């Protein structure tokens, strides 16, 4: 790994690294906060997956997680949202496709399949790197995210039973296979078969029998993307009459921004700390 930056914060270390990714066939960047407790013992790992157009830097700079993570003794890992570089396929006219919009899937369609292997990167390659480089207790992992990252966090929790002990989301895309926000990207990455799309859709995974003990979702009612792209009530309906517990909190006047995320970040970190 190459150290791009390293700073002390709340007694811990906030750093940014780059490394050559075999999964994505390019250089990838991620941020990690290591709490002060890691000098004495391995600490649980909490993965934060960012949303469309973001990088690792958005939550690192605006998410306001370090104080509480240091208090609770949580390692916070913030991957990028897609492969990047001049040779990586991109869409210059569509912010919902290409660099910054990997949707946390393994693409099967050309030209994206060569680089856009984000599920493999997040669930296999990067965890191996974290386990070997930091005092991380990989038996105690949680995952959360925002928007597209909320979609990624929820689907990974459902698809990898036993991997994560906790999952939460800020304004997630709960049904990307039916959302205009995601359908275009899914077609370009995964092809035109809706059955393939549903393997990356939290609502469809629950309908197919996937299970996870409980989810926490926070959603702002003033979110301009609520009706078109997010629709948390679809997930509420999906888990009804299952053994999946859902805490869905709707917040008046809050939008889709990091002002919203930072407001409820402490709540989410405490939620995960109680479960990992």
Structure confidence by residue, pLDDT tens digits, 49-65? 999 999 999 999 999 99
Q: For residues 41-46, give the mean pLDDT.
A: 98
- Residue 187 belongs to what domain range? 2-275
Active site residue 147: yes
3-state secondary structure of 19: strand
Nearest to 59 by CA among 83, 72, 77: 77
Report the CATH number that the domain containing residue 39 is assigned in CATH.
3.40.50.1820
- Under a CB-based contact definition with an 8 Å cutoff, are residues 95 and 101 in contact? yes
How many domains in the chain?
1
Provide the pLDDT for residue 203: 98
Residue 266 has pLDDT above 90, yes or no: yes
Provide the pLDDT for residue 181: 83
- Under a CB-based contact definition with an 8 Å cutoff, are residues 215 and 168 in contact? yes
Q: For residues 64-73, give the mean pLDDT.
A: 98
Structure confidence by residue, pLDDT tens digits, 131-172? 989 999 999 999 999 999 999 999 999 999 999 999 999 999
Task: Write down the H helix ranges in 73-201.
Answer: 118-120, 126-133, 148-159, 180-190, 194-197
**What percentage of the chain carries pLDDT values higher than 90?**
97
Residue 262 has pLDDT above 90, yes or no: yes
Active site residue 223: yes
Question: Catalytic residue among 106, 168, 223, 268, which?
Answer: 223
pLDDT, mean over the chain: 97
pLDDT band at 35 (very low <50, low <70, confident <90, very high): very high
Provide the pLDDT for residue 18: 98
What distance, in Å, lies between the first and last C-alpha atoms of the chain?
A: 27
Question: Catalytic residue among 82, 147, 175, 179, which?
Answer: 147
Q: For residues 209-238, give the mean pLDDT.
A: 97
Provide the pLDDT for residue 58: 97
Q: For residues 38-56, give the mean pLDDT.
A: 97
Q: For residues 213-228, give the mean pLDDT.
A: 97
C-alpha pair distances (Å), 227 with each of 173, 244, 273: 11, 24, 31
Structure-model confidence comparison of residues 92 and 57, the more confident one:
57
């Amino acid at each position: 790994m190459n150290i791009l930056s390293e700073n002390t914060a709340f007694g811990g270390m906030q750093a940014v690294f780059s490394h050559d990714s075999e999964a994505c066939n390019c250089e990838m960047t991620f941020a990690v906060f290591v709490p002060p407790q890691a000098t004495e013992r391995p600490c649980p790992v909490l993965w934060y997956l960012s949303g469309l157009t973001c990088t690792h830097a958005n939550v690192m700079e605006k998410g306001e997680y370090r104080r509480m993570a240091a208090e609770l003794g949580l390692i916070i890992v913030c991957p990028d949202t897609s492969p990047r570089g001049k040779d990586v396929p991109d869409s210059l006219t569509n912010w919902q496709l290409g660099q910054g919009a990997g949707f946390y899937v393994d693409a099967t369609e050309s030209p994206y399949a060569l680089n856009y292997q984000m599920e493999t990167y997040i669930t296999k390659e990067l965890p191996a790197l974290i386990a070997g480089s930091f005092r991380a207790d990989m038996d105690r992992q949680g995952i959360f995210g925002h928007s597209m990252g909320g979609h990624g966090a929820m689907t990974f929790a459902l698809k990898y039973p036993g991997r994560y002990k906790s999952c939460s989301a800020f304004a997630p895309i709960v049904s990307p296979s039916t959302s205009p926000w995601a359908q275009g990207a899914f077609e370009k990455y995964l092809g035109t078969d809706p059955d393939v799309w549903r393997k990356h859709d939290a609502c469809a995974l629950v309908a197919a029998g996937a299970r996870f003990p409980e989810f926490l979702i926070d959603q702002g009612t003033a979110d301009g993307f609520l009706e078109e792209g997010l629709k948390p009530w679809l997930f509420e309906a999906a888990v009804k009459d299952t053994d999946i517990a859902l805490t869905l909190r709707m917040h008046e006047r809050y939008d889709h921004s990091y002002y919203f995320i930072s407001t409820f970040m402490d709540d989410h970190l405490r939620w995960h700390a109680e479960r990992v």
